Amino acid sequence: MPAEAVFDFKAYLAEKRAMVDAGLEACFPEPQGFTFDLITAMRYSLFAGGKRLRPILCIAGAEAVGGVGSDVLPVACALEMIHTYSLIHDDLPMMDDDDLRRGKPTNHKVFGEPIALLAGDGLLTEAFSFMTSQALSERVPPQTLLQAIRLIAWAAGHEGMVGGQAVDIQWEGKAADLEVVRFMHTHKTGAMITASVSSGAILAGANEFQLKAITSYGEKIGLAFQISDDILDIEGDSETMGKRVGADEEKGKMTYPAVLGLDPSKRIQGELVQGAIDELREFDRRAEPLRRIARYIIERKK
C-alpha cells in the first residue's frame, strides 16, 4: 500500500481470516473411513467461526519485520488448532461445563465426551504436524523453525496455557488475590498470544531488538485481551458473543473486575494497550496491523 493510503483494518482482518481459513481447509483432512466422526469433530470446532486472532497475530508479527504472511501460514494455522483444542477441553463437563461456544453447541454436546476429548488431543498433535511440514521446513531455515516451534510448545504447555488452566480450575470458588489472577491470565491466555506474534516475527527473521519489542507487545495485549474477556463477561451481550455472559461470577472465577473492580480493570487494560503500541515506536507502517489489533482488543464486542 502507498504510505499515504488509509489503512483499512476491517479489510485486513477479513483478508487474513480468509487466508487462514483457506490454509486450514487445504491441509485439513476430509472425514472418511473409520475415523470419520473424529475428524468431523475436529473440523466442527476448527471451522466454528473463530476470530482467528492468534494466526492473524502470527502473520502480522511476520509482516511487521518485513516478512510475507503466506510464508508463516502453516504455523499460523497450527496456532489456531492449539487454541481450538484448548477450547474443546476447557468446555468439557469436568472443566468449565459449557454448552455453548461461538453460538453453537460445544463439541462434547454434539459428539459426546470421548470424541471431544480425542478431537482436542488430535488438534494439538496435528498442530505439530503442520509446523513440521516439509513445505514449511524448505521455506524457513530449519533452525529458525525449530526455535519457533519450541516457543509455541513452551507457551502451550505447563509453563504456559496448560499451567494457567490448572490454576484457573484449582482456584475456582476461592478468593484469589491479584497475583494469582495475573498468573492465570498471563499463562492461560497471554502466553499463547505472545507466542503467536513472536513466532511470526522469529520465522520472518526478526533481529534481537525487534523480537524483544514484539514480545513485550504480545505480553501486554495478551493480558489486555484476557481482561477484556473478563469485562465482556460482565458487560457483553450474550447474543453478540455467542456464549453465556455472567458465567465467571456464577462459577466463582477470579477475574480482574472481581478482584479490582470494573473501572480500575478498564484503566489497566487501556494502559496495557497503549504500552503495547508504544513498544512498536521504532517500527514503520508495516507494524500498523499490530497497532490496530491492540486497539481492537478494547473495542471488540465478542
Interaction site with its own copies (CB under 8 A): 29, 34-35, 37-39, 42, 85, 89, 92, 94-95, 113-115, 117-118, 120-122, 124-126, 128-129, 132-134, 137, 142-143, 145-147, 149-150, 153-154, 156-159, 162-163, 165-167, 169-170, 180, 183
Assign 104 to helix, strand or coil.
strand
| Minimum gap (Å) between residue 217 Cβ and its own copies | 24
74 contacts 23 by C-beta, under 8 angstroms: yes
| Minimum gap (Å) between residue 107 Cβ and its own copies | 13
Q: Which is nearer to its own copies, 61 or 160 (CB)?
A: 160
Q: Which is nearer to its own copies, 177 or 282 (CB)?
A: 177
| Minimum gap (Å) between residue 96 Cβ and its own copies | 10
Assign 101 to helix, strand or coil.
strand
| Minimum gap (Å) between residue 58 Cβ and its own copies | 17
CA dihedral of 153, 293, 2, 206, whole degrees rounded to 10: -30
Q: Residue 53: how many CB atoms within 10 A of its CB? A: 21
165 contacts 209 by C-beta, under 8 angstroms: no
Cα 206 to chain centroid, rounded: 21
219 contacts 197 by C-beta, under 8 angstroms: no
151 contacts 206 by C-beta, under 8 angstroms: no
Q: Which is nearer to its own copies, 147 or 216 (CB)?
A: 147
297 contacts 221 by C-beta, under 8 angstroms: yes
| Minimum gap (Å) between residue 204 Cβ and its own copies | 18
CA–CA separation, 265 and 263 (whole Å): 5
| Minimum gap (Å) between residue 163 Cβ and its own copies | 4
Q: Which is nearer to its own copies, 143 or 207 (CB)?
A: 143
